[in-house]
Structure 1
Amino acid sequence: MTRVGLVVNPVAGLGGRVGLGGTDGPERPRRAVALGARPPAGPRATQALRALRERGRALGLDLVVVTVPGAMGADAARAAGVAPVVVGDTWPTRTAPPDTTPADTVSAAHALVDAGVELLLFAGGDGTARDLLGALEGARCPVLGIPTGVKMHSAVFAVGPGAAGEVAAAWLAGGGGVRLREGEVMDRDDTALSEGRVASRLFGWLPVPDVPARVQQRKTGSTATTGEASAGIASEIAGRVGDGLLVLGPGSTTHAVAGALGADASLAGVDVLAVRAGRAEVVARDTGETGLLARIGSGPCWIALSPIGGQGFLLGRGNQQISPRVLRAAGGRERLLVLCPEHKLAALGGRPLLLDTGDPDVDAELTGYLPVLTGHRRISLYPATG
């Protein structure tokens, strides 16, 4: 029998759609729940386990899922139709977010390694990866992240929940050429953010199955967008939007373009801009899904996003506020503007833009070649995939 471990961070990703960013610390999860956030970690872990079970059967794996009680694993396993082996008899009785803590994640990891798992799947974000980095020091237990957090700059996550299950099955089956590599554990540098820069900090490495198309790259630092490129892209946006509303995603590229339009946009949040006569002003800052839907109303409006440097994620990383509901309300594919200077696009090396909205239908609608605004009167058609 092949033993795979599962640990779920129930508070991971809670702040995404409500516009709170990450859920580090005890207060943000409570605030997110008060704003109506629903925990995404459990359902995404369930999706990954379903893919693992299906692919595992095809590969002839005799799988046993080993996990811990309640919302930190067993609930997701049972929802996937898996009868897990549950360890940690003295586990805390807390089962509902926002009551779990990083210490619970560390304790769960220790219990699963002691149970002899061959691969540890974890549902969380960069903070969870950092917790596991400390917990697994010296253990050399391979890990694979089910992307559930808000940012996920680390190179230890699959590109989506289904991919996590498929990669796990391929590695556990052996003989398929899947090797381990050292994946960087990264997290956002809050000091840099306070200085007006988007940057990540390296905390260490964890062994991860190496399937390049299905396991994400780490986020790389963005080269500053030149004034000429920003002005050129801003001009293209003004021509398309006319006098109307523009939902602007996070990041240094979009921030620079907003500045070229005369707007002081936030760097890490999602803003709504009113565009008029080639100029823009922020009318809603750091807005969550509910606020975006209220601003859009009956629509349509425009949505402008820039992919994450190095990773290529367009949706589903750091901009969960721009949910499938928001995308549909705005007008779908025809109202999506992709902003990416040529040097940033070239750095992807031909790898496609990535979509992980949580809605397969929306990902499918956006899959294909998307027009990318790279400068004044410069448009590249570039592939995107879910």
Structure 2
Amino acid sequence: MRRLGFVVNPIAGMGGRVGLKGTDGKVTEARERGAEPRAPERAREALESLTTHEDVELLAAGGAMGESVATAVGFECEVVTHPSEETSAEDTRDAVRAFAEAGVDLVLFVGGDGTAVDVAETLAEHGEEIPILGVPAGVKIYSSVFAVSPRAAGHIAATFERTATREVNDIDEDAYRSGEVHTELKALAAVPVAEEVQSSKQLSGGNVETLAAGVAADAEAGVTYVLGPGSTLGAIKRELGFDGTPLGVDVWRATDEGGELLVRDGSADEIDESLGEHNVVMVSPIGGQGFVFGRGNQQISPAVLRESEVEIVASRAKLDDIGVLRVDTGDSALDEDLRGWRQVRIGRVERRLLKVV
């Protein structure tokens, strides 16, 4: 019998769709912008995957931090804590302490890098070497302790046989919102060994001048371009003639005279409202991980993607470190539509085939 501790950060990822690039200290603002909780649905997907495996015993934090979703999918779980309605990081830490005292075989958590830090640091403070595994639900996921999708997390939690030490990283969200990325190693943790555990994000780039020039030369009048975050897209935005937000999503429409910036650092709704008759979503995969949707660009919603073509761009150096591309839009049907072989633009005219899995 495998005993799993299950805890959910119910506010994780709320800032993504509305363009806040994180939820730390921004929960009220996210709600005012119309943000909906993302973590409960991600938690449900992970547990539904877990229910297909026998000999699993679940211990959970109470209420929205685990118990509610576990009960909804049919798990009879042991509730170890009873957090208040307005949950906090300390509630996560309390649950992890209870899991450690109960001797669980793995802590399965739902959240982002901040939640990963809470889990790993709490176990380290108590001298515990209990493995951890994250169900990705946050806006930014720089740590290498997460499965590539919720369903993968459930399967790995039930079947893993060995672990390896991996990094837990976090960034300063205030600096991130202003366009700067400052990562910090917060902890080391034992994590199940599996192909579907993602790598840590690599902050590396390459020479993208010719790529940017080629994209700008090919821009078609009347086409609306939804341009994702990152240094590669930053170079393209500059070549198009405007300074975009480095870590947000901008919308630009080509015209006969040049172009017009429609939205800067937009939310999902703002991007959707700016679309035209012909739309192209342009993104670059995250270095080391290969994600093109679902990590740091949740503003590009399934609704936007369904109204647009997708163009993936990357430097040669970045692709050399990526074996496959990945998508995690939060819409399983859309993810399936996006999978398969894709042409990735790597230069003025050059393209390379890479598979989205």
For normalisation by structure 1, the TM-score amounts to: 0.87
**Matching residue's letter, 2:150:** P
Partner of 1:122: 109
Partner of 1:275: 254
Per the alignment, in what secondary structure is the counterpart of residue 304 of structure 2? Answer: helix
The change in CA–CA distance for 1:147 and 1:196 in structure 2 (over 3 A counts) is closer
C-alpha separation in 2, matches of 1:218 and 1:87:
31
TM-superposed deviation, 1:203:
1.8
Unmatched runs of 5 consecutive residues or more in structure 1: 172-177
Does structure 1 conserve the Cα–Cα contact (< 8 Å) formed by 2:120 and 2:132?
A: no
The Cα offsets for residues 160-190 of structure 1, whole Å up to 9 and x where unpaired, read as 000001111112xxxxxx3211121112355
**Matching residue's letter, 1:318:** G
C-alpha separation in 1, matches of 2:300 and 2:211:
25
Does structure 2 conserve the Cα–Cα contact (< 8 Å) formed by 1:264 and 1:282?
A: no
Partner of 2:144: 155
Q: How many residues align?
A: 355
The Cα offsets for residues 13-39 of structure 1, whole Å up to 9 and x where unpaired, read as 0001111111112xx111111222111
Are 1:242 and 2:235 an aligned pair? no
Please point out which of 54, 59, 69 is paired with 1:66. 59
Per the alignment, in what secondary structure is the counterpart of residue 201 of structure 1? Answer: strand
Are 1:135 and 2:135 an aligned pair? no
RMSD: 1.8
Are 1:46 and 2:28 an aligned pair? no
Per the alignment, in what secondary structure is the counterpart of residue 103 of structure 2? Answer: coil
Per the alignment, in what secondary structure is the counterpart of residue 222 of structure 1? Answer: coil
C-alpha separation in 2, matches of 1:325 and 1:306:
19
Alignment of 1:1-386 (within 5 A): 1-25=1-25, 28-54=26-52, 56-57=53-54, 62-88=55-81, 91-94=82-85, 99-137=86-124, 138-171=127-160, 178-189=161-172, 193=176, 197-198=180-181, 200-211=183-194, 213-236=195-218, 238=219, 241-277=220-256, 279-296=258-275, 299-330=277-308, 335-348=309-322, 351-385=323-357
TM-superposed deviation, 1:329:
2.3
**Matching residue's letter, 1:51:** S
Moved more, 202-211 or 274-283: 274-283
**Matching residue's letter, 2:135:** I
Per the alignment, in what secondary structure is the counterpart of residue 16 of structure 1? Answer: helix
Percent of residue pairs identical: 42
C-alpha separation in 1, matches of 2:132 and 2:63:
21
Moved more, 162-171 or 221-230: 221-230
TM-superposed deviation, 1:210:
0.9
Unmatched runs of 5 consecutive residues or more in structure 2: none
Per the alignment, in what secondary structure is the counterpart of residue 129 of structure 2? Answer: coil
Does structure 2 conserve the Cα–Cα contact (< 8 Å) formed by 1:122 and 1:145?
A: yes
TM-superposed deviation, 1:300:
3.2
C-alpha separation in 1, matches of 2:311 and 2:76:
45
The runs of 4+ residues in structure 1 deviating greater than 6 Å are: none
The change in CA–CA distance for 1:125 and 1:158 in structure 2 (over 3 A counts) is same
For normalisation by structure 2, the TM-score amounts to: 0.94
Per the alignment, in what secondary structure is the counterpart of residue 371 of structure 1? Answer: strand
The Cα offsets for residues 118-171 of structure 1, whole Å up to 9 and x where unpaired, read as 100000001111111221112111000000001111100000000001111112
**Matching residue's letter, 2:164:** R
TM-superposed deviation, 1:198:
4.2
Moved more, 147-156 or 36-45: 36-45
TM-superposed deviation, 1:196:
5.2
C-alpha separation in 2, matches of 1:154 and 1:315:
17
C-alpha separation in 1, matches of 2:263 and 2:39:
28
TM-superposed deviation, 1:115:
1.8
Per the alignment, in what secondary structure is the counterpart of residue 346 of structure 2? Answer: strand
C-alpha separation in 1, matches of 2:352 and 2:326:
16
TM-superposed deviation, 1:92:
3.2
Moved more, 286-295 or 198-207: 198-207
**Matching residue's letter, 1:231:** A
**Matching residue's letter, 1:74:** E
